Structure 1
Amino acid sequence: MTSNKPYLIRAFYDWILDNDLTPYIAVDANYPNVMVPEQYIDDGQIVLNIAPASVGAISMTGDVIEFSARFGGKVQSLYVPFEAVGAIYARENGVGSSFDIEYPEEVEEVLEQVETPKPEKKGKPTLSIVK
Structure 2
Amino acid sequence: MAPERLLTPHRPHLLRAFYEWLLENDLTPHLVVDATQDGVEVPQEHVRDGQIVLNIGPSAVGNLNLGKDDVVFSARFGGVPRRIVAPMAALVAIYARENGAGTVFEDEPYYEALREGKIALEESGPEDDPEPPKPGRKAPFLKVVK
- TM-score normalised by the chain length of structure 1: 0.77
Match of 2:89, SS state, is: helix
Aligned mate of 2:104, from 98, 101, 108: 98
The CA RMSD measured in Å over matched residues stands at: 1.1
1:76 has 2:82 as partner: yes
Give identity over the alignment, percent: 49
The Cα shift of 1:100 comes to 3.0
- Runs (4 or more) in structure 1 with deviation over 2 Å come to 100-103
Match of 1:12, SS state, is: helix
Look at both structures and tell me which one has the larger radius of gyration over its CA atoms. 2
1:62 & 1:86 partners in 2: Cα distance? 16
Aligned pairs, how many? 106
2:12 & 2:29 partners in 1: Cα distance? 15
Aligned to 1:63: 69
1:85 has 2:76 as partner: no
Aligned to 1:39: 45
Unaligned residue ranges in structure 2 (runs of 5+)? 1-6, 118-146
